[in-house]
Amino acid sequence: MMLRRGFLAFLPRLVGLLVVACCSMSIVYMLACTPKGDTEQLALPRVHSPTAKEGYEALLQEREEQHRNYIISLKKQIAQLKAELQGKSEQLKSMQDRNSDPLDFRLDHSNPEKAQASLLAFLRAQIDKAEVHSGVKLSTEYAAVPFESFTLQKVYQLETGLTRHPEEKPVRKDKRDELVEVIELALGDLNNLEGDSNTKHRVYTTSDFVEGIYRTEKDKGTLYELTFRGDTKHQFKKIVLFRPFGPVMKVKNENVNMADTLINVVVPLAKRAGKFRQFMQNF
């Protein structure tokens, strides 16, 4: 009982001491955190002070000078690029003048006859480049452009290789229209040639068309070779046409006699000669 009474009597004193200690620490902290007097100069200048204005003006002048120098540098680079571009253009023009086409293909619209002659000369030059009359030597067999065979209803493509059957049926509308146009032009040429003479000759129709081949070269045009039945069993009419990315031009019209032509067929007949003989008899 005596200890409890002594503790209760000492408790208010302890609380008072704690309050005094806290107040003392607060006062010391406030004194330590008090800002310095106005007599001491701040590390950073205030915005409205004269020193701050001079600093910002100097900074703005420096940035403006940097931008001005950058603009001057860009203008110099643009001038250099324009000079280089003009030099390249003049160099290209001089090269084109040196390597100009000897045909000098220019259409003079004031003189229609001269323009037509120049156009025909250009088209005939395209025919010569397309290996119509004579071939050119190629570096490899892969550089050769293959022909594709066609009839009135079908087109046999070689570019598909062995991936699928080369026969295409029905023919695409654009390709069908192109081939029909070529066949009609060839028939018109045949009938006009036959009609020039006084003697009466047969009239060729689409039923006389046997087959044709064609190939397209990207930088020259499309070459067509069409075969029609002739007057006799072993005689045929061969029409060669060329489309140099323009109107179709007639290249050749000749008679082909196959009576004395020998056809060599190379097939693997090891131990199968009898079957091949039977096939030829049935064929």
Per-residue model confidence (pLDDT) at position 265: 75
Per-residue model confidence as pLDDT tens digits over 26-84 = 787 777 766 554 444 444 455 455 577 788 888 888 889 999 999 998 999 898 888 88
Tokens matching residue 85: 């571009």
| pLDDT, tens digit (0-9, with 9 covering 90-100), for 144-196 | 788 888 888 888 776 655 455 555 655 677 778 888 899 999 998 888 865 55
Mean pLDDT of 8-37: 72
* Higher pLDDT pick, 36 / 201: 201
Query: Which pLDDT belongs to residue 103?
Result: 41
> What pLDDT, on a 0 to 100 scale, did the predictor assign at position 43?
44
- Min mean pLDDT across 103-112, 138-147, 153-162 is at 103-112
- Map out the domains of the chain as residue ranges: 103-134, 145-257
Q: How far is CA 130 from the centre of its chain?
A: 23
pLDDT for res 111:
63
Q: Give 225's pLDDT tier (boundaries 50, 70, 90).
A: very high
The pLDDT score that the predictor gives to residue 110 is 60
Query: What's the sign of the alpha-carbon dihedral 192, 197, 203, 205?
Result: negative
Average pLDDT, the chain: 75
What is the model's pLDDT at position 71?
Answer: 92
User: What is the pLDDT at residue 102?
Assistant: 41
Mean pLDDT comparison of 21-25, 97-101, 236-240, highest-scoring range = 236-240
Amino acid 209: pLDDT: 92
Q: Please determine, for residue 107, whether its predicted confidence score (pLDDT) is greater than 60.
A: no
